[in-house]
Every structure is written in C-alpha cells, then in structure tokens.
Amino acid sequence: MRLFIAVNFSEEIKNRILALQEKLRSQASRGTFTVPQNLHLTLAFLGEVPVVAAEIPAATTAASAMDEKLELLSGIISDPFISGTLPFEIRFNHTGCFTHSGKELWWLGADKSCAGLPLIKALHERLLRLIPEEGFSVDKRPFSPHITLGRDIKHERPINLTIGPDDPEITVAVDRISLMKSEHLKGKLTYTELFGKDLYDQDSGGKDSGDKDPGHKDPGRS
Ligand code: 2AM
C-alpha cells in the first residue's frame, strides 16, 4: 500500500488553485494535471508499506497485520506535538518547476515569509523523526512545501505562471493531518484518507492556555 501524510484543502481553496492550474494548462501542449480531489500538500512520503503477513494465507491474519501498521501510523499523526499544534495558515504565492529526467513538474510554493512556514516545517521534521522510529521508511529529501499542479508538462513556449496582486489569495488552513493511500482505481490515480487527526481545537482551551509558544498547546509533551 502506497502511503503518504498530507494536508487536504477546502473546496474554495481547490477552486482557487484550479484557476491557476488553468493558466498552466492553457500554455501547455501536454501534461498530466492534478485532478481537484487529489490536490494536497505532502508532509511526508512513506511509499510502499509492505504488509508483513501478506504471505500468510489466512486473510484475517493479513488484515490484522495491516491494521497494526495503520494503527502505528495513526499513532504518529496523533502524536501530542503534532495534534497539539494549533491550526494555522500557509500562504502560497509563487510557482515553479522541478525538472527530473527531462520531465517538468509544475507546482505552487509556500510564501517563504509566511508565519505558517516554520510551523509546517516543524510538523514535517517531527514526522520524519517519528516515522523511522516506528519502523517505516520515509523520503528524506529536503522539504519544500508545494502543491503539484501538473506533471510531465510539455510546452512550445516558456510558461509564464505568476500570481499577481489582483489574484485571489491562496491561503491554506492547516487544521487536519491525514494519512493517505495512493492507488490506481480503474486507471485513475486515487488518494483516500485512511486516518485523519484534527489539529488542536482552540475552543477546547488552547487559546487561553497561556502557552508561550503560540504554535502549541503543550510543546513540552512528547
Ligand atoms: P507531490 O507532493 O510533489 O505532489 C503521493 O504520491 C504524493 O506523495 C504525491 O503528491 C507526491 O508528490 C508525493 N511524493 C513525495 N515524494 C515522493 C516520491 N519520492 N515518490 C512519489 N511521490 C512522492
């Protein structure tokens, strides 16, 4: 099972991202564009998680072994540092392109000066520490928070994809962290949330908890 941990978006934000994606599409001659339901921000990519008991014939045993792994991963997302983070926002304000083996992946990138950037990096770093501790592999490449707009983009002329001051702001609310499954269903790349954890709900006391660190309910707990 191919797994990753991500932040998913509201419909309103997806529509804003899609408007930008449309600008990319109109300049591309070919490409695979992220479908609306797949737009997300990856926090950690685990890749294929082997089901240890897959070779054991009894389906029930295999299922319970998988459940155990998912339970461990759910536990990571529920880690007090992660789930104790107060909801925050990240503004996405620029675009760019990763080129790998001649293929262009176009993305929307987080504002390097937004207040949420250190918080999302802290969540990523925590995940990168906990995931191997629980026995899973994780992609350790440097974290550059981005939203993939399209892959394998081909174009005849240089792409001009800018976000102007008159464009609607793309500010993502980070209020839930999700363990996601990636699979091809009837030929379509499909992402499904297997487990999600809402970040700390201020209404239940965080706002008035008197913490010095505004990003956490209790950063000392771990
Ligand atoms: P992305 O974050 O750039 O869009 C599921 O495959 C998600 O995990 C994709 O959105 C993908 O890219 C992200 N991801 C991060 N590292 C990956 C890797 N090494 N291989 C495949 N997908 C990866």
From CA 4, how far away is CA 136, in angstroms rounded?
Answer: 11
Residue 184 lies in a domain: yes
| Residue 216 Cα to ligand 1 middle (Å) | 28
From CA 184, how far away is CA 38, in angstroms rounded?
Answer: 12
Residue 139 lies in a domain: yes
* CATH code for the domain in which residue 172 is found: 3.90.1140.10
Tokens of 62: 């295999």
From CA 119, how far away is CA 126, in angstroms rounded?
Answer: 11
Domain span at 125: 2-204
Residue 210 lies in a domain: no
- Number of folded domains in the chain? 1
Residue 171 lies in a domain: yes
Residue 221 lies in a domain: no
Q: What is the pLDDT along the chain (222 residues), one digit of tens a residue?
A: 999 999 999 999 999 999 999 999 999 999 999 999 999 999 999 999 975 544 445 555 555 666 788 899 999 999 999 999 999 999 999 999 999 999 999 999 999 999 999 999 999 999 999 999 999 999 999 999 999 999 999 999 999 999 988 888 999 999 999 999 999 999 999 999 999 999 985 454 443 344 445 577 654 443
Pocket of ligand 1, candidates 41, 45, 184: which has the most ligand atoms within 8 Å of its Cβ, to mutate?
A: 45
CB 147 within 8 A of CB 38: no
Nearest CA to ligand 1 atom 18: 45
Residue 137 lies in a domain: yes
Residue 57 lies in a domain: yes
Cβ neighbours of residue 9 closer than 8 Å, sequence gap 6 or more = 17, 39, 40, 41, 172
Residue 212 lies in a domain: no
| Residue 196 Cα to ligand 1 middle (Å) | 18
| Residue 62 Cα to ligand 1 middle (Å) | 26
